[in-house]
Amino acid sequence: MSRSTVAEPHRNKVIERLPVVAYQRRRTALIEAGHNPWLIRSIDVPIDFLTDSGPAAQSDRQWAGLMMGDEAYAGSRNFYVLEKNCQEIFGHRWMVPTHLGRGAEHLVSRALIPDPSRPVRVLAQNPAPTARAHWHRRGASVVEIGGAAALDPKSNEIFRADVDLDLLQRALSDKSVPIAFVSLACCPDFIGAPPARLANLKEAARLAREAKVPVVLDASRIAQNALLVQRHEAGQDRRTLREIIRDLAGCGDILVVSAKEACLANCGGFVCTQKEAVYEAVRSLVVVFEGLHTYGGMAGRDMEAVATGLVEMTQPEFLGWHQYQLEYLAQALESAGLPVVKPVGGAGVYLDARRFAAHLPPEQYPALAVACAIYLGAGVRCGERGLASRARLDDATGRAGMELVALCPPMRVYSIAHLEYAAKAIAGVWAKRDFIRGLRLRQASGVLSGYGAAFDPVEADCVLPVPLPDPQAQPLEYEPYRTKTVEVLRTTDREYRERAVAEAGFNTFLLKSEDCYIDLLTDSGTSAMSDDQWAAAMMGDESAAGARDFYQLEEAQREVLGFAYMVPVHQGRAGEHLISQAMIKPGDTIPGNMYFTTTREHQELAGGTFVDVIIDQAHDPASQYPWKGDIDLNKLRALIDKVGAKRIPYIKYECSVNMAGGQPVSMENARAVSELCHAHGIQVMFDATRCAENAYLIQKKDPKYHKVPVAQILKELMSYGDGCTISAKKDLLVNIGSFCATNHRWVYERVREMCPVFEGPLTSGGMTGRDMACLAAGIYEMIDDSYIRSRVEATQYLGRLLLDAGIPIVEPPGTHAIFLDARRFLPHIDQDQYPAQALAAELFIEGGIRAMERGNVSAGRDKKTGQNKRPKLELVRLTIPRRVYSRTQFELCAEAVIRVWKRRESIRGLKMVFEAPQLRFFTARFERA
C-alpha cells in the first residue's frame, strides 16, 4: 500500500480508560509506594511505561483463543497448538510450558545445575536479574562474557549485546571450575535491550558446543532482535523475519521464553529444547514446581492466547510499528536534550540516569530517583534498571552496571499522541533535573529488591522538591484511553482493490470489511467498547423478562437525558419506526433540520411528508457559520401557518446534523424552537444520535458554556424536547441497541403497544441483557469531558489536514465525520453520473479507505417524476469510529485523499446498473460511465 506515513497495523477493538491523576495525588502515591515504581497502584498511573513484559494489548484472535480454552487437566488441545507453533517457529522438537518466563529460568537452572553443592560456573551474556538469582540459588558463580560496549551508555554500537568471543574462549578454556552452561540473550533488558548479531551468537554457540557445553538462549525478545538484525546486520536485509528468528533460535540448545514479551501475552512462558535429556529433566521438574507438563501453570485459554501471539509476534508489521514508536519517542526526548541511550534497542527507550542527575552519588540510587521524579513531575511511570534492582545480589558483578531509566511502552497499547505527551512532560522534569534528590534504602526486600523495597528521599521530603506545571492539569492532548484489544488490519495492493471495488459494483457498502484498511464508512456500531462495558456485558442478565439491565438502562437514560419514559428497541431505525407509527397520521407534515435517510423513510411510510426547515447556510459547504444545524424559525413559522399546527405532530430536531456534515445546533436555537413549537402544541422530538458531540461543540463555541461540563450542557439541551429517538450505536459507544424516549404518557403507551409486535419484550426490545448493560455503561462514558473532547477533536484534526492541503470539504468541520465536497472535487462529473459515489470508490482504490456517499444516490428519486432528486449537497463522508483509530491513521487517510485530489481530472463518473426501490444506496451497483 503506497504511503509515506507510518501508522498502526491494527485498530482498537477494546479500550481501557486512563485516569487523570493530579500532582498532589501522585506525590501521595509515591510516598505510599516507598518511592518504588513497582508498588504504585495502576489507578494512580496516567501513562505506564514501567515494562513491556505483560501489559501488551492482545489481539481479538488471542481473545477468541481465550474463549476456546480447553481446561482439561491433562492433554489440553491448547498445549498441542502451542507445541506445534513453537516447533514451526523455533525449530526445536520439545516444549514444556511454564506460568511465566522466570518459571522457565527456574526449571532450566535446576535441570542443568542438579547439585547445588557442587561448584559450577555459568558463562553469561548480560543476564536478567531473575535468571542470575536462580543460578545463585543453585550455587553457581557467574562469569560475564558480554562485550565492553554493553556497559557503556554512550556507545553508538547498535549490537551492544554481542558476546565478547575472546572472553568466552578464555572462560571455556579454564577448567578449574566446571561450566554448567553458556547463557545468551536477545535484546537483554538491563543494558538497554540492544540486539546481538546473528553471526556473533552463532559463533558463541559454536565455541560452546565445541567445548561440549550446552547453550541456553533467553529468547523472550527474539523477534525484536531479529528485526534489528534484518535492518542492521550485513547480509540479512533480504531474509524474512521468520528465517532470522529460526536461525537465532538455533543458537540455543535450550530456549527459555517469557510469553509476556515474546508472545504479546499477559502471562505464560515455556522451555524449548533439541536435547531429549534436557526435555526429560525439565518435564520431571515441571510437575513439582509449575503444573502438569501439558499446562505447566497456565490455563488452557492462556496457552491458546500465547500460541496465537507467538505467530503474531513474527509479523513484520507489528514489530516495525513498535520499533518506529520507540525511535519516535527517543527522537522526541533527544531533541529536548535528554541523555538517551542510542541506538534504540528492542524493548524501550533508556535514559542514562548518571547524566540525567549527574549530581547524585551512585549510592543514592540515581536511576530510581530519576524514575520517581519523572512519575511525580510527568505522570509517567517508568522502570529502574540500576542499583536498586541489583543491590541484593550476592556478588560484585551483580552490583556493577549502568544506571538506566527504562521507558518501555507496551506493544499495541499507546498511540503517538501518548508518546508525545510523555516526551514533553519528561522534558519538563529534565529542565528541573538539578533539584532531583537522591534516595536511601528504608526497607530491603529479598533477593530482587527492586520489586518490594522501600526508599526515602535523602533530603527534604520529596524527590523533586520544586514546583512544576502539572501536565495532568491541562486539557489532555492524547486519547484518554489506551488500547486493550486490537484488530489486525489487512494490507492489500492497488490491483487487488481495483478488482474488489469492481466486484462490489463501485458501492462501498458492498465491499468486504477485511479488504478495508481504514474503514470510515460509518460511526454506527463501529466504536471500540471499553473494558468496563465488556465487564458489564459478561454480567448481562438474559432473563426473558424483567432483566436488571433494563432497569439500569432506564435509570441511566433518566439521569443523563432526563426523559420520563423509555422503550428499548434493537437499534435506531426501529425507534424511528415506532415513533412514526405512534405519532404520524396520513397527511401530516414533519418539519426538520435536514432529512436523514431512514428517518424520512419511516415518516413517509406512516403517511407523513418531511419538510426541511434548516437554515440556508447548511446547504453551503463553504459557509463558516458555526451553527449550521439550526432550524430557520421563519421557515418553521411559515410552515405552521401554511399547514396548521394540528397537521404537525412533532418537529424532528437532529443534533450534529449528519447530512449537513455533522453540524451542531446552538442552545439558543434549541430554546427558541422549543418555545415556538410548544406555543402551537407541537412536540419537539430530538434525534439525539450525536447529542453528546453537539453538547461538546456548544461548550467549545458558545462562551456562556465554556466552563460548563458536557453532562450539564446535554441535560439542558434535552430539556427543550419532548422526547427522542436515538441510534445508540453512535454516541453511546455500543455495537448494537437503542431506545426511544418521551415525556408524554400517551406516546409511551402507543410505542409500548407496538414494541412486542416489532421488537421484543417490553424490558428488552429485542436487545440482549448484555447489550443493554453495555448501553447503560456507554451513556455515562459518552459524557466524560476528556473523552468527548478527544473524540470530536480527532474529527477536527482530520479536517485541518485536508483543509491545509486545499481539499474542498464541508466547513467548519463537524463532529463525527469530514465531508468531502464532491461537486468541487469533481466538477467535470454531472450529478447524474454520481460524483460522490465515484469519489468514494477512488478513495478505496487509492488507499484502502472506505467512505460513504451522501449525495444523489442517497437522496433517491422523486416519487412523482422518477428523476434523481439531485440534492444541493453532493458529499463523501469520512466517518470517524469512536476510540478506534489514531492520529497517525488519520494522517495516512489524508494522504490518500490528497493523492486522489492530485489526479482528480482523470476520474470518470458512474452509471447505475441496479437500484432497489427503497434506500437504494445500500445495494445499488454501478459501472464506470
Region 84-110: mean pLDDT is 98
Choose the CATH number for 541-784 among 3.40.640.10, 2.40.30.10, 3.90.1150.10, 3.30.70.1230. 3.40.640.10
* pLDDT at position 2: 45
- Write out pLDDT tens, residues 166-194: 999 999 999 999 999 999 999 999 999 99
Instruction: Answer whether 891's CB lies under 8 Å from 801's CB.
Output: yes
3-class secondary structure, 518: strand
Distance CA 531, CA 883 (A): 12
Residue 243: per-residue pLDDT: 98
pLDDT of residue 449: 61
Q: What is the pLDDT of residue 448?
A: 67
For range 874-888, the mean pLDDT? 97
For cell 489481539, the residue is 59
Handedness of CA 193, 197, 202, 205 (dihedral sign): negative
Q: What share of the chain is helix, strand, coil (3-state, %, to 5)?
A: 45, 15, 40
pLDDT class for 625, splitting at 50, 70, 90?
A: very high
The rounded distance, in Å, linking the Cα atoms of 389 and 452 is 10
CB-CB contact of 513 with 519 (8 Å)? yes
Examine domains 19-52+318-473 and 541-784 and report if their fold is the same.
no
At the top level of CATH, the class of 59-314 is alpha beta
- The beta strands (E) that lie in 520-564 are given as 529-530
Strand partners, 877: 819, 852
All 3 cell numbers of residue 305?
Answer: 492466547
Query: CA 629, CA 670: separation in Å to the nearest integer?
Result: 10
Q: What is d(CA 723, CA 742) in angstroms, rounded to the nearest whole number?
A: 4
pLDDT of 461:
83
* Furthest-apart CA atoms within the chain: distance in Å: 108
In this prediction, residues 730-750 reach a mean pLDDT of: 98
Question: For 285-311, what is the mean pLDDT?
Answer: 97
CA angle 358, 363, 367 (to 5 degrees): 55
Each residue's pLDDT tens digit, 204-241: 999 999 999 999 999 999 999 999 999 999 999 999 99
Average pLDDT over residues 255-270: 97
Q: Is the peptide bond before 366 cis (omega within 30 degrees of 0)?
A: no
From the list 307, 303, 306, the residue with the least C-alpha distance to 293 is 303
The residues with which 878 forms a beta bridge, in sequence order, are: 818
Question: Which helix (DSSP H) or strand (DSSP E) does residue 817 occupy?
Answer: strand 817-821
Confidence of residue 401 (pLDDT cuts 50, 70, 90): confident
151, 400 contact by CB (below 8 A): yes
pLDDT above 60 for 573: yes
pLDDT tens readout for residues 657-678? 998 999 999 999 999 999 999 9
Supply the DSSP symbol for 54: S
Residue matched to cell numbers 462501498? 508
In the predicted model, what is the mean pLDDT of residues 602-616?
A: 97
pLDDT attached to residue 783: 98
Q: Which three three-digit cell numbers place residue 198? A: 546473528
**Which residue's C-alpha cell is 562469569?**
143
Listed by start position, the domains of the chain span 19-52+318-473, 59-314, 484-523+787-928, 541-784
Average pLDDT over residues 111-130: 96
In one letter, which amino acid is 159? F
Helix H or strand E segment including 377: helix 366-378
> Which of the pair, 597 or 40, is modelled with greater confidence?
40
Helix (H, G, I), strand (E, B) or coil at 621: coil
Other CB atoms closer than 10 Å to residue 144's CB: what's the count?
18
How large a percentage of the chain has pLDDT more than 70? 98
The pLDDT value given to residue 445: 78
Q: What is the mean pLDDT of residues 521-530?
A: 97
The CA–CA distances, whole Å, from 891 to 4, 48, 320, 328, 896 equal: 10, 25, 18, 16, 9
Quick one: which of 428, 389, 386, 432 has its CA closest to 405? 386
Cα dist. 773→30, 540, 839 in Å?
A: 36, 6, 39
The overall average pLDDT reported for the chain is 96
> Is residue 46 scored above 70 in pLDDT?
yes
Model confidence band, residue 903 (pLDDT cutoffs 50, 70, 90)? very high
pLDDT tens column, 80-89: 999 999 999 9
So what's the pLDDT on residue 579?
98
Cell reading at 505? 459494483
Count CB neighbours of 163 within 10 A: 27
pLDDT of residue 56: 97
Residues 481-517: tens digit of each pLDDT = 999 999 999 999 999 999 999 999 999 999 999 999 9
Set of cell numbers at residue 344: 534504540
Statement: residue 725 has pLDDT above 70: yes
Eight-class DSSP state of 11: E
With beta carbons less than 8 A apart as the criterion, state whether 376 and 464 touch.
yes
pLDDT band, residue 396 (cuts 50/70/90): very low
- Per-residue b or e along 846-875, where b marks 16 or more CB atoms closer than 10 Å to that residue's CB: bbbbbbbbbbbbbbbeeeeeeebeebebbb
Q: How far apart are CA 618 and CA 535, in angstroms?
A: 41
Q: Which three cell numbers stand for residue 422?
A: 510523555
One DSSP character per residue, 296-360 reads TT--HHHHHHHHHHHHHTT-HHHHHHHHHHHHHHHHHHHHTT--B-SS--SS-EEEEHHHHTTTS
**Domain 19-52+318-473: homologous superfamily in CATH:** Aspartate Aminotransferase, domain 1 (3.90.1150.10)
> Quick one: pLDDT at residue 391?
57
In tens, the pLDDT along 642-659 reads: 999 999 999 999 999 998
Q: Mean per-residue pLDDT for 686-701?
A: 98
Position 3 pLDDT exceeds 70 = no
Termini Cα distance of the chain: 27
What CATH class does 484-523+787-928 carry? Answer: alpha beta
CA distances 204 to 72, 164, 189, Å, are 41, 9, 20
Tell me how far apart the alpha carbons of residues 654 and 814 are, in angstroms, rounded to a whole number: 14
